[in-house]
Structure 1
């Protein structure tokens, strides 16, 4: 049985990157919807909520997805696998919490387990710093996934404190990511960083779309 999946994130490049990561496993997992507005409009077995530059799984977004009658189960997909956050997301209605460090084959296996009714959570074996697949704004400019996420939140207008709360990171960690991000893009101020972000696709797209069919139409 092929599992029908919707990918949910405000950034088009993020959901397309995840769809590309899963493209070799269409006999097991079929991406039927890419959602950049937080809605799922077609019946799916699993909605994958990607936390890139979004609220974490302990917030209302997951509850909204689990309440959607078109969604069978909800999986949170994140770099942040802090145990307390994982537990909060599962308590919030998620059926699984998956690390972005998983390679594609293991990700598909985890989705299969969730579909079978197993509550899947990170086991601590994956290296959360490893970049395996997916995509994000600014990757072609050399930004890491974490740097890109912080820049996206800056471009959205969030303060350092608000970014720390959303990303579940310390203020010092946020400042460190900002410094390294600025060096990569040649920015010396927040205004310059925001302008760079706007010019390079760091504003949310918020446009729901269907993925291209396998025959290219």
Structure 2
């Protein structure tokens, strides 16, 4: 069971997220916070598998809270997924620089939120498809030679990487390529290993840098 902390300053939003998450069979909401300070305190106290944080909160905003919970200097980081109504580049960049494992818009459906929470719990990262192409498009004109994979990607791995880079979830990739979810995960693991990157966001950046997607 994945233990999740929800933080948002609007009670109706917290309630909606809690109900949505509790509808997922493998997720349990273990706490709720109405501001960033409370979110950090509860996350340190409860040690959830994932903290789902709103960007705009009083006390500490979501990016500041993320830095305290998942920043490079944190000894025992908590996996953070940032969620917001506002599709702004500075929020995306700020959240990822602070250590977030995911960035979602509040309009994301239960499937995508569930996938983001599961990915974060597994140490992976997932960005809302609505912002992925625009965010990673900044890397479409390489400033330096991209690293080469340790061994060539297979044709299927190239297909999976291209779809991953456009922001599709594992389930959606499987549907496009007629593959099982387990097979998709295996191919993604192979891509990450060959590219020497930590997560799907870095793999997508590599795809843009090398012209796989543009």
TM-score by length of 1: 0.49
More helix by share: 2
TM-score by length of 2: 0.50
